[in-house]
Amino acid sequence: RCLENFYNENCRLEERVRELEKEKVTLLKENGRVKSSLDKVNQLEVSLRKLTKDCSTSRAKIKNILQKINKMDFI
Protein backbone atom coordinates (compact mmCIF):
# COMPACT_ATOMS: atom_id res chain seq x y z
CA ARG A 1 0.00 0.00 0.00
CA CYS A 2 2.77 2.42 0.94
CA LEU A 3 4.69 1.54 -2.22
CA GLU A 4 1.58 2.25 -4.29
CA ASN A 5 1.23 5.66 -2.65
CA PHE A 6 4.85 6.47 -3.46
CA TYR A 7 4.34 5.36 -7.06
CA ASN A 8 1.22 7.53 -7.41
CA GLU A 9 2.99 10.49 -5.86
CA ASN A 10 5.94 9.97 -8.20
CA CYS A 11 3.61 9.90 -11.24
CA ARG A 12 1.91 13.08 -10.05
CA LEU A 13 5.26 14.81 -9.54
CA GLU A 14 6.52 13.72 -12.97
CA GLU A 15 3.38 15.18 -14.54
CA ARG A 16 3.92 18.41 -12.62
CA VAL A 17 7.53 18.55 -13.84
CA ARG A 18 6.31 18.20 -17.46
CA GLU A 19 3.79 21.00 -16.90
CA LEU A 20 6.48 23.24 -15.42
CA GLU A 21 8.83 22.50 -18.32
CA LYS A 22 6.10 23.53 -20.80
CA GLU A 23 5.47 26.67 -18.76
CA LYS A 24 9.21 27.41 -18.75
CA VAL A 25 9.36 27.17 -22.56
CA THR A 26 6.35 29.48 -22.85
CA LEU A 27 7.87 31.99 -20.43
CA LEU A 28 11.22 31.93 -22.24
CA LYS A 29 9.48 32.73 -25.54
CA GLU A 30 7.50 35.50 -23.86
CA ASN A 31 10.67 36.84 -22.25
CA GLY A 32 12.33 36.95 -25.67
CA ARG A 33 9.43 38.95 -27.10
CA VAL A 34 9.50 41.35 -24.16
CA LYS A 35 13.25 41.83 -24.49
CA SER A 36 12.88 42.50 -28.22
CA SER A 37 10.12 45.02 -27.53
CA LEU A 38 12.23 46.71 -24.87
CA ASP A 39 15.14 46.98 -27.31
CA LYS A 40 12.83 48.58 -29.87
CA VAL A 41 11.53 51.04 -27.26
CA ASN A 42 15.10 51.97 -26.35
CA GLN A 43 15.95 52.51 -30.04
CA LEU A 44 12.86 54.69 -30.43
CA GLU A 45 13.84 56.76 -27.39
CA VAL A 46 17.32 57.29 -28.86
CA SER A 47 15.75 58.32 -32.18
CA LEU A 48 13.40 60.71 -30.40
CA ARG A 49 16.29 62.38 -28.56
CA LYS A 50 18.21 62.74 -31.84
CA LEU A 51 15.19 64.19 -33.64
CA THR A 52 14.54 66.60 -30.77
CA LYS A 53 18.16 67.75 -30.90
CA ASP A 54 18.06 68.08 -34.70
CA CYS A 55 14.80 70.06 -34.47
CA SER A 56 16.31 72.42 -31.92
CA THR A 57 19.40 72.90 -34.08
CA SER A 58 17.25 73.59 -37.16
CA ARG A 59 15.15 76.13 -35.27
CA ALA A 60 18.28 77.96 -34.14
CA LYS A 61 19.62 78.06 -37.71
CA ILE A 62 16.31 79.30 -39.11
CA LYS A 63 16.09 81.99 -36.42
CA ASN A 64 19.63 83.10 -37.24
CA ILE A 65 18.85 83.26 -40.98
CA LEU A 66 15.64 85.22 -40.37
CA GLN A 67 17.56 87.73 -38.24
CA LYS A 68 20.11 88.17 -41.05
CA ILE A 69 17.29 88.69 -43.58
CA ASN A 70 15.65 91.30 -41.33
CA LYS A 71 18.95 93.19 -41.08
CA MET A 72 19.34 93.34 -44.87
CA ASP A 73 18.35 96.49 -46.72
CA PHE A 74 16.05 95.79 -49.62
CA ILE A 75 15.68 98.59 -52.16
> pLDDT tens per residue, the chain (75 residues)?
889 999 999 999 999 999 999 999 999 999 999 999 999 999 999 999 999 999 999 999 999 999 998 888 776
What whole-number distance in Å separates Cα of residue 25 and Cα of residue 44?
A: 29
Q: For residue 60, give its domain range.
A: 1-75
Number of domains in the chain: 1
Q: 0.85 exceeded by the pTM?
A: no
- pLDDT at residue 75, as a whole number: 60
